[in-house]
A and B are shown apart, each in its own frame.
Chain A
Amino acid sequence: MSLEGKLVVLREERREDQRLFADLRNDLDTQAWPKGLPPDYTEEMHIKRLETREFSYERDSARLAIVEKASGRLAGFVSYTGEQHRLSASIGIVVSREFWGTGIGFDAQEVLLGFLFDELGLREVHLWTHSGISKAIALAGRSGFVECIRLRESVFKNGRLLDGVVMSLLREDYYARHTDKVDRLPKVA
């Protein structure tokens, strides 16, 4: 079984993906955090990062390429980081500008959430964004995320002071939205 949605497939990242990933990192609209600047990342840097990864069963993060099913084209990536096994993780999503408004981002997010709840058995998934990215906040809201933290003026980007925003999705809320699924993981609290 692959990580497949209605519009996308999520797969492992490959060497040939790294050109687009570097471009997305260097785009001030798709790079959410000042920490990621300046926008001078190269394809070679990304390839080196990919190729120095080691095999491990001790994984707490992943980045998966988003591939549009209809065309086979690379559309961006989803990721999760800081996974506390069987408890929680933080997700991220970056979609190439040409795919904005196509539903691919939402579909990719839903596929990733299905993986995190159905396969990794997480009890909560959250994401960090900021008040300047209304698209990201709306996209998260479509999957049931709710704002849980707003850190005032903690981001300075595009010449503006913005609030850092954390949005959270509980396991039971995910399954309540997906009535075709049954959550068989026993509650722990």
Chain B
Amino acid sequence: MLPFSLKRDGIALRAFEPTDVHALYAYLNDPALEGRRYLPDGFPDLAPLSARHVEGILEHWQKESESWTLAVVDTTSGALLGHVRADWEWDPHCPSACVVIAPAQQRRGIGSAVLAVALAFLFEETPAHVVSGWVASWNEPALAFALHNRFSEAGRQPRGGLHAGSFYSHVALDLLRGEWTAMRERRYVA
């Protein structure tokens, strides 16, 4: 079964459509998501986004060839819950993944479910050996989320930016194929 066929706990993944612009605009502009929107380069991660910005983001995502960004949706209501991204543009040996869930939808297990899809895609459909992820050091929930999903902290690059009056670091995380395989096997046994 291909990883995109995820339909679990009432969530599904699908391609973004132009009609998603309003729902995407709404959750990307949630103040709780500022600084952790995981947008393409050139789009502001802190300032409010305009509808034109969001159209540009959708257009950018739809042109990707060595990465994908998919919409996370509620299968019952069709509501947009977030986005998940896998990127192997630098080197398919060491791609990266990220998950963004609308603040109102967090802490329901959605992020872990869609991260599992991204990892299954990268490890089963591409020659990835290790998958990395990056979070800002102030984003403690994201760091806890990554560690909960068996990523290991690879270190911290200082002064990634300023947040609330202090410098923060870029925290690097990685997950080796062997660790992912072992994790999957343990889950099947359990």
Contact = CB atoms under 8 A, between A and B. Distances in A.
Interface in A130-150: 147-150
A188 interface: yes
A87 interface: yes
B161 interface: yes
20 contacts: A35-B91, A84-B161, A87-B159, A88-B159, A123-B167, A149-B155, A149-B172, A150-B155, A151-B94, A151-B154, A152-B154, A153-B130, A154-B94, A155-B93, A156-B129, A161-B129, A166-B157, A168-B159, A188-B162, A189-B167
Given A34-B93, A84-B161, A124-B159, 10 more contacts: A123-B159, A126-B157, A148-B155, A151-B94, A151-B132, A153-B176, A155-B93, A166-B155, A168-B158, A168-B159
A177 B172 CA distance: 28
A188 B94 CA distance: 35
A103 to B, nearest CB: 28
Contacts of B94: 151, 154-155, 164
Dominant secondary structure of chain A at its interface with chain B: strand
Contact of A148 (B93, B157, B161, B165): B157
Contacts of B157: 124, 126, 148-149, 166, 168
Nearest to B173: A151
A118 to B, nearest CB: 17
Nearest to A122: B159
B154 A34 contact: no
Interface in B158-172: 158-162, 165-167, 172
Given A148-B156, A151-B94, A152-B154, A189 B166 contact: yes
Interface of A: 34-35, 84, 87-88, 123-124, 126, 147-156, 161, 164, 166, 168, 170, 188-189
Contacts of A88: 159-160
Given A87-B159, A123-B159, A151 B129 contact: no
A154 B158 contact: no
Contacts of A124: 157-159
B156 A149 contact: yes
B3 to A, nearest CB: 22
A151 to B, nearest CB: 5
Contacts of B93: 34, 154-156
A188 B74 CA distance: 43
Contacts of B129: 153-154, 156, 161
